[in-house]
């Protein structure tokens, strides 16, 4: 399971996905269908995300049933941005269509 912050034009969103990579064409297609065509993505450690979101994380994880799915854990950009330190984030992945 990937835990990813996606920085979009409207702010950051925290996503959980079973895709192996945020560069997977199917993942990008799903984001595009939601209007996200340009983004910067940072992977986060599962432990850090679990610690911050606790029961909400478990609820969302229990809802991820498909092999190639994604779920939004938090769409409150202010909350997402301030919940994590930059040092918690992996290398950036840039995408633009």
Are the beta carbons of 19 and 32 closer than 8 angstroms?
no
Give the rounded distance of the alpha carbon of 60 from its chain centre.
12
Tell me: the pLDDT tens digits for 16-25? 998 989 999 9
Q: In terms of C-beta distances under 8 Å and separation of at least 24 residues, what long-range contacts does 55-61 make, across chains too?
A: 60/16, 61/1, 61/16
Which domain does 30 fall in, by range? Answer: 2-96
CA distance 79 to 71: 17
Q: Kindly tell me if the per-residue pLDDT of 78 is higher than 90.
A: yes
- As a whole number, mean pLDDT of residues 24-52 equals 94
Tell me the residue ranges of DSSP E strands in the chain: 2-8, 11-17, 38-44, 70-74, 93-96
Q: Count of domains in the chain?
A: 1
Q: Kindly tell me if the per-residue pLDDT of 67 is higher than 70.
A: no
In terms of Cβ atoms closer than 10 Å to its own Cβ (0-12, 13-18, 19+), residue 86 is exposed
For the entire predicted model, the pTM comes to 0.88
């Amino acid at each position: 399971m990937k835990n990813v912050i996606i920085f979009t034009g409207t702010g950051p969103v925290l996503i959980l996905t079973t895709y192996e990579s945020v560069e997977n064409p199917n993942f990008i297609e799903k984001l595009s269908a939601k209007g996200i065509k340009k983004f910067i993505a940072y992977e986060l450690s599962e432990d850090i995300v679990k610690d911050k979101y606790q029961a909400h994380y478990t609820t969302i994880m229990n809802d991820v049933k498909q092999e190639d799915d994604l779920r939004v854990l938090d769409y409150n950009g202010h909350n997402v941005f301030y919940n994590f330190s930059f040092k918690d984030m992996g290398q950036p992945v840039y995408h633009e269509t």
